Amino acid sequence: MANPKIRDIQVIFTEPDNIRLVIVKIITDQDGLYGVGCATFTQRPNPVKSAIEDYLKPFLIGAEVNNIEDIWQSSYVSSYWRNGPVLNNALSGIDQALWDIKGKMANMPVYDLLGGKTREAAAVYVHTSGDSEEEVGDQMQAYVEKGFHHIRVQISTPGYSTYGNKSAKTGNQTTSNKDPLKGPIPITKRIKNYDKNKLYAHPGGVFEPKPYMRSALSLFEYIRNRFGYGIEILHDVHERIPPILGVWFAKEVEKYQLFFLEDLFSPEDNEYFKMVRSQTSTPIAMGELYSSPHEIIPMLKDRLIDFIRIHISDIGGISPAKKIAAMGEIMGVRTAWHGPGDTSPVGHASNLALDLSCYNFGIQEYSIFGENTKEVFPGCPEVKQGMMWPNDKPGLGIDIDEKLAKKFPFKEREYGGAWDTVRRADGSMVKP
């Protein structure tokens, strides 16, 4: 029987729980044989769709589905200029779908194609956040009682906005701080009737590094006093603070024994990780914003990070991710694939295939699937007792109910669905 070939490539947009998801479906010329892949770049879905439909589809129709690596390598350079989140998400959708097909042809789960299980399930971490330390602690208590052992903790900063907690009081509002001793007063409050529209295209509020760091350090102190050191806590700085303050912060948190401290710097400030490494043993996680091998390789080569936070579809799919994981293993760096709400359940299934098969697995981020999402994606990985479990079906073990997916078309979004525009008190931009 001839090797199956790609007959059609389809892009499916759906947002079952208010997050825009992009799925690729590869149909082969063998009846009933198809695969699904995640190409979700929630802030820019349309260019990803075009990169697939207008460029990769005509390039790949007729290709033999067996040859995943050759398809990946030839597609990667088919644009000549390469890397970046749009082209890599397009490539990821194709790549993950081809791994799904190969598993179905071999009648094996993808994790078996990648070398088999090194663990039965993948430990996950979940998100807590709140306006007060007690609120964060109570959320944490509830998760601990459900068997979770790794908890991300974020807290709002009185008078300012902050990442990970969009509370009405201090989240996306352009807040004003009344106490100048607690931090600068936002420019929108200093100048009467300041035209806020000049500053806030997509209001993400006002962020100031010192008040944020004081709130976070106080939260860690509270959590350790309330829960002790038996539970693992994680924290996401999400860039935002000037790099030298990041170096100071990484040292200050050492006594709280975080499982990891994430996105301490922006990718543009990768060089600062060398300073952190020589001054503290706080475990460092970085990578969700990387979309080129040039960003992650130096981090692994010099052991500048402890956890690879790469968003698999932003790096081009399972094929490149497994190579990065292998380099990580050789250098003593563990995986912690990005798993936010804007990774589709197909993307989570790809994360899980690597979590189970890679010896140097660290932890898996898990954003709880909404009810609609679980219905649109039959075979969603199951999470219980703080672990994500495979369903042992061939391929990625997940599908998309296209009829149901159509019931959740992309909603209109102002500002094109841009990421929050966060600014300092003086009105200057903050990343992100």
Catalytic residues: 160, 238
Q: How far is the CB of 145 from ligand GCO (least distance, A)?
A: 23
Q: How many CB atoms within 10 Å of residue 74? A: 13
295 sits near ligand GCO (criterion: CB under 6 A) = no
Q: How far is the CB of 126 from ligand GCO (least distance, A)?
A: 11
427 sits near ligand GCO (criterion: CB under 6 A) = no
49, 238, 322, 348: residue in contact with ligand GCO (rule CB under 6 A)? 238
Identity of the residue, 188 or 367, whose beta carbon is nearer to Mg ion in the bound complex = 367
340, 370, 378, 427: residue in contact with ligand GCO (rule CB under 6 A)? 340
Residue of this chain nearest to ligand GCO (CB atom): 340
Identity of the residue, 72 or 366, whose beta carbon is nearer to ligand GCO in the bound complex = 366
Identity of the residue, 72 or 273, whose beta carbon is nearer to ligand GCO in the bound complex = 273
420 sits near Mg ion (criterion: CB under 5 A) = no
Q: How far is the CB of 123 from ligand GCO (least distance, A)?
A: 16
Identity of the residue, 42 or 313, whose beta carbon is nearer to ligand GCO in the bound complex = 42
Amino acid (1-letter code) at residue 114: L
- Residue 340 interacts with which of ligand GCO, Mg ion, none, CB < 5 to 8 Å by class: ligand GCO
342 sits near ligand GCO (criterion: CB under 6 A) = yes
236 sits near Mg ion (criterion: CB under 5 A) = yes
The site for ligand GCO (CB under 6 A) is made up of: 42, 236, 238, 288, 340, 342, 365
